[in-house]
Amino acid sequence: MQRTKSNSAEETSRNDSIMNFEKMSDQQLWDIANPIMDNLMDASIQLDHTKHVRDFTERMKVIVTPEYLYVFACTIQPRKGISPAGCRFVLFRRPDSVAIVWKQSFTKVLGEYVAEMVLVYKNDRYLVDHVMVF
């Protein structure tokens, strides 16, 4: 019986991702995610695009251009203010990623908001593949 040839590098990368997310504790994941989210929030306040996209996947870097960040920050900040550190809410593990959710607030408006980020593991780094505040 002949085996089908597979892409071992791709499988290894995928298996590394599965191993990292499925076997990591909640605390380990929060310890990775919190500084990444803090950097995103700080960089959006400072309008520092390079810092903002530092931990983004290539897919996200194509979406979040300097102009996109500027328009987003100039739309949100005057209306809602800035967003202090969020409160840990929940982790959703997937085979190749983890979705992290924080309860968030803003300085100029009342109410609770959601900050969400999806992390993937690529090239020996944890990278943001999706992020949103709503």
Helix, strand, coil shares of the chain, percent, nearest 5, are 45, 25, 25
Architecture in CATH for domain 8-133: Roll (3.10)
Domain residue limits, the chain: 8-133
pTM of the full predicted structure?
A: 0.79
For residue range 50-74, list pLDDT tens digits in order: 999 999 999 999 999 999 999 988 8
Comparison of pLDDT for 62 and 12, the residue scoring more: 62
For residue range 14-27, list pLDDT tens digits in order: 454 455 788 889 99
> In whole angstroms, what is the distance from residue 55 CA to residue 120 CA?
10
For residue range 83-130, list pLDDT tens digits in order: 776 788 999 998 889 999 999 888 888 889 899 999 999 989 999 999
Q: Which residues contact 68 (CB under 8 A, 6 or more apart)?
A: none
